[in-house]
């Protein structure tokens, strides 16, 4: 195999094209069972939970994956369309050895992915992913169950109710009198998100809740909150929440229509939790993409900030290491491990609303605790991903720009972990100047490795 199958967030690709074919899904299913049997002192049957988002290709990959799991002797609980964190939750609730999510999160509908969870509902161990990958590359030696040893398929139709009940128990808020606008990205939250907010008493105005298999993330949801902004203003909602296709991200909109991303959420939640003495280690974990304004806001409140490389898995690993109970990314992946082991957009929205209720202030007022530095992000489609430092002339230009900013700003260039893109991010005081800098650096990359 020339390229690794597993990236930073499972296996991703265009559905029904190599490598993400039904054949691969079948083999990964079989080798997942073989790996779990080898890793655990397990004298009974392997039990796995599988769910998906609303993509057209979901049932195709699910059918193949389930066939692989059953053929290797695992019992398989299918929960249908459910947000990624809901599937992680059901993995624990059903006492399963692992969970499987078929989703490509915020990517366009043509893409899909296979993401694995441990029995704890956390990220599948890297060593186990490597073992599955090695097994897939070799001859198929996974168990081939016979007779009554063939796995059982259980359509578990109570998962959605269990998930909604869980979320409303985590934050038993009284939202009576509040109008909440939500954008479900025609994705996995399209039923559960309206249910949760209505259960808590809010008046709900929902958009992008008509999935047709091809419209997931299309000009809507957490990546495109402009539609929610417009709807919120039209109905004069008190607050708005946009989720991505698989429901693990949150972008908020306050009552005056201002977009509040993950940096704002971390600043608001971090400062409030610290004030209430609920912030463990007086620490917030985020990534190198976080706005400088977040550092400024948290440090002003005496809160430590630890930064990791981009990816919620790295934030999660650092949080486990440091014992932190708040972390996340600017993109809206937020982690509240006191409640849930993985990022959850709906739970994050409820956490923010709990601060609004406890503080007695609207989101717009709470958001004044942070001053955003202008930030520019330019994505460059690339045909390959050589080390950034090997791109001729790029380092020199970055050095010149960093000297020019003289400490009031920064340059960050990295590859996407899930797409064939180089990302050029610059922060600084002058928006027009940093845009020009980013465009110049993107041009250097494009001229050498552009797709």
Dist CA 249 CA 84 (whole Å): 10
> Is residue 397 within 8 Å of residue 440, measured between CB atoms?
yes
Tokens standing for residue 8? 């930073």
Please indicate whether residue 416 is annotated as part of the active site: no
Chain centroid offset of residue 234 CA = 29
In eight-state DSSP terms, residue 333 is B
Dist CA 61 CA 68 (whole Å): 11
> Long-range pairs for 272-276 at CB < 8 Å and ≥24 separation?
272/355, 272/358, 272/359, 272/366, 273/325, 273/326, 274/301, 274/302, 274/303, 275/301, 276/358
Dist CA 366 CA 270 (whole Å): 12
Q: What is the dihedral of CA 153, 163, 80, 130, to 10 degrees?
A: -70
Dist CA 218 CA 211 (whole Å): 10
Dist CA 4 CA 126 (whole Å): 12
Catalytic residue of the set 103, 105, 195, 297 = 105
Dist CA 348 CA 350 (whole Å): 5
Dist CA 363 CA 282 (whole Å): 22
CA–CA distance from 383 to each of 257, 422, 449 (Å)?
Answer: 38, 10, 6
Catalytic residues: 105
């Amino acid at each position: 195999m020339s390229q690794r199958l597993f990236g930073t967030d499972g296996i991703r690709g265009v559905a029904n094209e190599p490598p993400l074919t039904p054949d691969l899904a079948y083999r990964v299913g079989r080798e997942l069972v073989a790996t779990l049997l080898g890793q655990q002192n397990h004298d009974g049957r392997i039990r796995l939970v599988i769910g998906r988002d609303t993509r057209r290709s979901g049932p195709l990959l699910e059918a193949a994956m389930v066939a692989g799991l059953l053929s290797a002797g695992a019992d398989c609980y299918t929960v249908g369309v459910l947000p990624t964190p809901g599937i992680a939750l059901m993995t624990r609730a059903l006492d399963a050895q692992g969970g499987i999510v078929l989703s490509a999160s915020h990517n366009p509908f043509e893409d899909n992915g296979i993401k694995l969870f441990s029995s704890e509902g956390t990220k599948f161990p890297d060593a186990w992913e490597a073992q599955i990958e090695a097994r897939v590359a070799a001859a198929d030696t996974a168990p081939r169950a016979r007779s009554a040893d063939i796995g059982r398929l259980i359509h578990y139709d109570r998962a959605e109710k269990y998930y909604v009940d869980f979320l409303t128990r985590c934050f038993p808020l009284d939202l009576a009198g509040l109008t909440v606008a939500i954008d479900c990205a025609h994705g996995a939250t399209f039923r559960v998100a309206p249910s949760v907010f209505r259960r808590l008493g809010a008046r709900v105005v929902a958009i992008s809740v008509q999935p047709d298999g091809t419209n997931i993330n299309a000009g809507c949801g957490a990546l495109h909150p402009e539609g929610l902004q417009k709807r919120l203003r039209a109905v004069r909602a008190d607050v708005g929440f946009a989720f991505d296709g698989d429901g693990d991200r949150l972008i908020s909109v306050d009552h005056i229509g201002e977009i509040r991303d993950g940096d704002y959420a971390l600043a608001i939640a971090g400062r409030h939790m610290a004030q209430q003495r609920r912030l463990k280690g007086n620490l917030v974990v985020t990534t190198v993409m976080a706005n400088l304004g977040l550092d400024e806001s948290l440090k002003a409140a005496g809160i430590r900030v630890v930064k990791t490389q981009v990816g919620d898995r790295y934030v999660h690993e650092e949080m486990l290491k440091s014992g932190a109970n708040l972390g996340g990314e600017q993109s809206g992946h937020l982690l509240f491990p006191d409640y849930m082991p993985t990022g959850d957009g709906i739970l994050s929205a409820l956490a923010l609303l709990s601060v609004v209720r406890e503080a007695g202030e609207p989101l717009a007022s709470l958001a004044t605790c942070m001053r955003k530095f202008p930030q520019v992000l330019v994505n460059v489609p690339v045909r390959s991903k050589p080390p950034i430092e090997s791109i001729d002339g790029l380092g020199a230009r970055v050095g010149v720009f960093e000297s020019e900013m003289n400490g009031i700003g920064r340059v960050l260039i990295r590859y996407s972990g899930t797409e064939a893109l180089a990302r050029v991010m610059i922060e600084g005081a002058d928006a027009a100047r940093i845009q020009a800098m980013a465009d110049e650096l993107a041009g250097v990359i494009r001229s050498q490795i552009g797709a």
